[in-house]
Chains A and B, each alone.
Chain A
């Protein structure tokens, strides 16, 4: 099978998703070589027009929007990937632990997760960030904790099913420890259902990060990020400048792209047909 075979089988929607996501991915990886200017370099007048001398014009203090978008792709995607990875690590670890230990460990963890999940995500993030102050560390930690909760539930449910299998029983009787059972018996079998969740959770994380950075609680300058770009340029809209829509469109395109891919993957996996 050639490596582009899966691409051929996709419908146009997921091909579009794939195209958009890889475009932003390339921007993120090769940002310093692709961007014509630096991410905080002032290169022209305030709000130079779109598609003129600068492809996407300049922002509210005269920085090149294209360069900021490219660097922003790098910063945002890196931050969201890191956070999602942390969330999955933490959620899966606790979920497996609850499934293996059962009893009070399971009870305590599950009730705790119930409470955190019943607080709206944005409000939870705002409470924590208002008491710790804004920093990349606080941002990653709080969002990772928020999204570890649903991951915990999935991981626990999946691990519960695996834990009753004979090979886990065999490992127990062999006298293997908790860590071995977690990593060598349960993890390999739980990897596929967890991986299937990753794309969707990445989208949620990405949207929450852009929401927070739109509110001014995300990455701080000189680091470029799309949410802050929308907010920074938002005054321009009253004067008829469409600049804030450009980074907002980037956020929308990336999340739609990922959703399209996830959608078609889910549809293929569950074998949905006409009637569904």
Chain B
């Protein structure tokens, strides 16, 4: 019955697209409702009606909201994000340079964090309640509960100030080759890795341990299968679904957690750009960056659901 799985996936996909539309509506209409009239704010309450109307015309605000929303959406999908309010540059150009930097950061962290946390999670589940397990669980609990900038500054104090191995400020530019780029972004990547590994590792351990009480594991134990083999061949295939879910959720988180880490290391990415725009109240940029972050988040969540459906042995091989 592959069909039922396909149906589930298609339904989830439709829901994801609806969510994205709803978010875009919220971002454009909600922001406008909250920020009030830009023109009266710029010209003051005493400005004459003609002037305000002229300002509305130049900023394209004289037409009804739903038409402007559809226009914005159509342009956005085609990559035209309007002009920035502060320096009148095309938003797409400003963002274009930085998207790659942010994704470089996120992907590099994911490449280190996923294998690391899976391995540690399996080992902790294998030797549960040992000293190693307790130590790791203590460390990861702390890792989850501390703010990212705490980890970032500790790493900065150790590696940039005391030892001077990596730069404290990540000046990344287009002309760098890969090794220069890796050294420049080592500390942000390390920070993000530590921050996400903690959660992924705990969930890996928890989902394996929760399976250890099931009858087929008991059976394997009684057959005399070695503990390592039980975990890898008997428990893990059934634990994939929750583990994949957690991995995707953490990747989604990673793309957003990047905001604070970029600010700490003055890394030229989307997050730092968004914060600057928030302060300048440059709404076209805030809108575009927010939409990108939200889309990545929604898409990764979507993938999490679909992959965990697809990796669930019960759904893949129905009776």
Contact = CB atoms under 8 A, between A and B. Distances in A.
A141 B279 CA distance: 19
Interface string A234-262: 10011010101100110110011011100
B27 A230 contact: no
Dominant SS among interface residues on chain B: helix
Nearest to B156: A237
A123 B298 contact: no
6 contacts: A127-B290, A128-B34, A129-B278, A238-B168, A251-B150, A259-B141
B146 interface: yes
Interface string A147-189: 0000000000000000000000000000000000000000000
Q: In the complex, which range does the number of interface residues on chain B fall in?
A: 35 or more
A132 B35 contact: yes
Q: In the complex, which range does the number of interface residues on chain A fall in?
A: 35 or more
Contacts, number: 138
Contacts of B293: 120, 123
A256 B142 contact: yes
Interface of A: 13, 114-115, 118-120, 122-123, 126-133, 203, 207, 210-211, 214-217, 227, 230, 234, 237-238, 240, 242, 244-245, 248-249, 251-252, 255-256, 258-260, 263, 274-276
A274 B153 contact: no
B209 A123 contact: no
Nearest to B293: A123
Contacts of B149: 211, 214, 230, 248
B146 A130 contact: no
A276 B35 contact: no
Nearest to B152: A248
Interface in B188-233: 209-210, 212-213
Interface stretch (B2-10, B42-50, B93-101, B255-263): B255-263
Contacts of B213: 275-276
A124 to B, nearest CB: 8
A207 B252 contact: no
